[in-house]
Structure formats: C-alpha cells, structure tokens
C-alpha cells in the first residue's frame, strides 16, 4: 500500500491518500496539450493509470502489443509479485491510447519500443511522471496532492462506489488476496464505514 509522503517541514510524515474525483481527473487530462505529441502521450498514460488502475512501473513496462484496441484491454505481464493480469479500459481511455499509438507510428517509433516512451522512442523515467503530475495539477487548479498512485486509488474508489464485487476489484488491482484489497479500500475510501455510523439512530 502506498501513501504519499509530505515533503515540507514534516518530511517523512505519512499523509492520508486523497483520491481524485472524476471531474478533477478530467481537468488534469485537459491540462495536457491536445495537439502536441507529448500531450497526446501523457493523456493516454493518465487514462491507463486511472481506468486500468496500473502501478506506475506496470504502465511504463507495457509494450504496444499489450494493448488490444478491439477489446479495449491491457495485458500486464509483469505485475507486482511477477503476477500477470488483464484489465479493461473504457471506450474513451482506449481511444486515447489508440490515438497515441497512431501518433508514435507517424513519428517512426517501432512496436519494439515501450508503449509509453519518449518522443524519440526511449524509455520514460518514472521521475518524469512524478514531476509532471503536480505541474498539471497546478495548471488544472486542483488543490489535492496529485501523484500516479492516486490515479490508481481513484479508479478503485469508483469501482467500489459502483458496487463492484471486491473480488473483481482485487483482480483488477493485482492484489494477492481479497483481504489486501479490503484493507486497501478501507484506507483510501472509508466512506462506507462513515455512512454506516451516520445511519445509527
């Protein structure tokens, strides 16, 4: 389980996660350029981190062949604990990935390169994404802490709010057990507990 670490005067203090709402993520994606190749790539990456609920290292290890445009699915071959899984993107997220694939093909980047790569086909560093997200958040005037794992949190919260079975959420997240997922969800989205307590007479 990952929680963001504050880097100010209380360095080392673990702060509670702050999942983003859908409109906040849409604003974050809108802060990326809709025309520049880097913006097209970054929108697709954000969509995969959010809708696919991938860890940052899982997203950066993807190859173009791991994305199935027909089914809108992403195959994670080397997840945590070396576990493989397949996740689904919604139509909008899949379209963003397809647009980036078309863009990189026009730039002459071969399919042997990683799906999310630099504009000359080199590997992307996770430090680039860690620096990019707060910059986009400022541009989108989002007050919460924004980091890659927070997008994974947000996707899991949406599934929970939609009433998706915890076993399915667990598989989507690539967790070793449902118990791990239960602890994860209670940590990032304790609203079910709060709502139950408020309902008491």
What are the chain's domains?
Answer: 22-151 (1.10.443.10)
Query: Helix, strand, or coil here: 107?
Result: coil
Each residue's pLDDT tens digit, 26-68: 999 999 999 999 999 999 999 999 999 999 999 999 999 999 9
Q: pLDDT tens for residues 105-145?
A: 999 999 999 999 999 999 999 999 999 999 999 999 998 88
Question: Would you call 153 a catalytic residue per the annotation?
Answer: no
pTM above 0.85, yes or no: no
- Summarised one tens digit per residue, pLDDT across range 150-195 is 898 889 888 888 888 888 988 999 888 888 888 878 777 665 555 5
Active site residue 175: yes
Phi-psi category of residue 163: left, alpha or beta, with phi > 0 → left and psi -120 to 50 → alpha? left
CA atoms within 13 A on the CB side of 145: 17
Listed residue (38, 27, 15, 31) closest to 149, CA to CA? 15
Nearest to 109 by CA among 95, 94, 124, 96: 124
Catalytic one among 41, 43, 51, 55?
55
152 part of the active site: yes
- Tell me if residue 80 is catalytic: yes
Please state, in angstroms and rounded to a whole number, the distance separating the CA atoms of residues 135 and 156.
24
Q: Catalytic site residue 99?
A: no
């Amino acid at each position: 389980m990952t929680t963001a670490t504050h880097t100010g005067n209380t360095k080392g203090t673990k702060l509670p996660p702050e999942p983003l709402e859908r409109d906040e993520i849409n604003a974050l994606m809108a802060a990326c350029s809709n025309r520049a190749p880097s913006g097209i790539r970054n929108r697709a990456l954000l969509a995969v981190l959010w809708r696919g609920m991938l860890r940052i290292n899982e997203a950066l290890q993807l190859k173009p062949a791991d994305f199935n445009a027909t089914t809108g699915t992403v195959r994670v071959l080397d997840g945590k604990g070396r576990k493989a899984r397949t996740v689904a993107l919604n139509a909008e997220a899949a379209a963003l990935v397809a647009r980036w694939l078309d863009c990189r093909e026009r730039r002459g980047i071969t399919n042997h390169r990683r799906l999310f790569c630099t504009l000359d086909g080199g590997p992307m560093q996770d430090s680039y994404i860690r620096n990019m997200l707060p910059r986009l958040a400022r541009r989108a005037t989002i007050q919460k802490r924004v980091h890659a794992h927070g997008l994974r949190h947000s996707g899991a919260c949406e599934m929970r709010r939609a009433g998706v079975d915890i076993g399915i959420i667990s598989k989507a997240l690539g967790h070793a057990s449902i118990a791990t997922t239960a602890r994860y969800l209670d940590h990032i989205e304790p609203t079910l507990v709060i709502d139950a307590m408020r309902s008491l007479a």
